[in-house]
Amino acid sequence: MAISRKISKERLALKLSLAGTVVLSSLGIGYGLYVGSNAILLDGMFSLLSMGMTGLSLYTAYLVTKPDDKYFQFGYAHIEPLINVVNGLLILLTCIFAFFSGVQTIVNGGQEIVLEHAIFYAVLSTICCFAIFFTETYIAKAEQSELVRVDSQEWLIDGILSASILVGFIFVMILDHYGYSQWNRYVDPILVSALSLAAVVLPIKVLRRNLKEVLLVAPQDDVQENVDRVIEKLSKQYHFDAYTHHFAKTGRQYDLEVNILVKDDTYWTTKRQDQIRLILWEALSDELGDTWLSVSFTGQARWL
């Protein structure tokens, strides 16, 4: 029941995000072309990119809940970090492209914009972006959803872009008021370059975290320490001759493999082996949740 509720809220958040991106990407691209602002056009293009990635995330949220089958015999959990890596790469490339586009516009003498319409768009976009960001952040934290959390980061970037565009356009009005309107044409490309450079931090964080999961890097955190502690305690309590274990996190699923060396066949009956598995599961299931647990016993050290 809890898993079903989590999936429902996760999909609801992503559907809200998808609806928001459809509206804002249309407004951004339309207004950007109409008022002649590359900053607004960038905002709209970013929303359009987000729309595609949110659609993928929504499909991924459905996939990861499916049980394993004959094609994906370890389940679909690995698709989640893979989608997040693609998402992060696309955001990063967009930021890099926008930065060089802004620099090129500055070198070419700047660009005039229709100020009144630009400010209207910037206010509307800022409010919408931060509203969806805070909604998704709440759901991501409550449901422990990495998909929604990554999607909320896109809205944060978009919200910061929109808010900064708004501040920049207000600055243009101030320049006009004090008779420095000749500099107005540089404000828009400066905003594009500065904001894209600042926004690049978030996709880098997303890439670093999710690439570790794609590459099956063991999580270096409290969960890993607790797994080590529980297995070591079991080893001392039941006198394992030796053991090894392998631990990884892929999306929302942990994978734990434990290999135990035992030499007394009469003591280590099948019933006693299952008892170890049960103890291990009960000690870790609350923290690890949906875990792929494999515990094997061997009498030869070569299989550790």
Angstrom distance (rounded) from CA 260 to CA 43: 55
Q: At a CB cut-off of 8 Å and minimum separation 6, what does 99 contact?
A: 192, 193, 196, 197, 200
Better pLDDT: 59 or 88:
88
Q: Mind listing the pLDDT tens digit for each residue in 18-65? A: 888 888 888 888 877 887 777 777 777 777 777 777 777 777 767 777
Beta bridge partners of 154: none
Q: What per-residue confidence (pLDDT) applies to 304?
A: 80
Q: Which CATH superfamily is domain 222-303 in?
A: Cation efflux protein, cytoplasmic domain (3.30.70.1350)
> Are the CB atoms for 118 and 40 separated by under 8 Å?
yes
pLDDT of residue 130: 92
Write down the pLDDT at residue 23.
85
Give the start-to-end residue ranges of the domains of the chain.
Answer: 2-214, 222-303
Query: For position 180, what pLDDT does the model report?
Result: 72
At 289, phi and psi to the nearest 5? 65, -125
pLDDT digit string, tens, across residues 208-265? 888 888 887 777 777 788 888 888 989 888 889 899 988 888 777 788 889 999 888 8
Tokens of 42: 């960038």
pTM of the model: 0.68
Three-state DSSP string of the chain: CHHHHHHHHHHHHHHHHHHHHHHHHHHHHHHHHHHCCHHHHHHHHHHHHHHHHHHHHHHHHHHCCCCCCCCCCCCCCCHHHHHHHHHHHHHHHHHHHHHHHHHHHHHCCCCCCCHHHHHHHHHHHHHHHHHHHHHHHHHHHHHCCHHHHHHHHHHHHHHHHHHHHHHHHHHHHHHHHCCCHHHHHHHHHHHHHHHHHHHCHHHHHHHHHHHHHHCCCCCCCHHHHHHHHHHHHHHHHHCCCEEEEEEEEECCEEEEEEEEECCCCCCCCHHHHHHHHHHHHHHHHHHHCCEEEEEEEECCHHHC
Domains 2-214 and 222-303 in one fold: no
Class of the 2-214 domain? Answer: mainly alpha
How does pLDDT run across 202-218, given as a tens digit for each residue?
A: 788 888 888 888 887 77
What distance in Å separates the CA atoms of residue 292 and residue 294, rounded to the nearest whole number?
7
- The pair of three-digit structure tokens given for residue 107, joined into one six-digit string: 């070198």
What whole-number distance in Å separates Cα of residue 179 and Cα of residue 190? Answer: 20
For residue 49, what pLDDT is reported? Answer: 73
Q: What is the dihedral of CA 248, 249, 253, 255, to 10 degrees?
A: 0
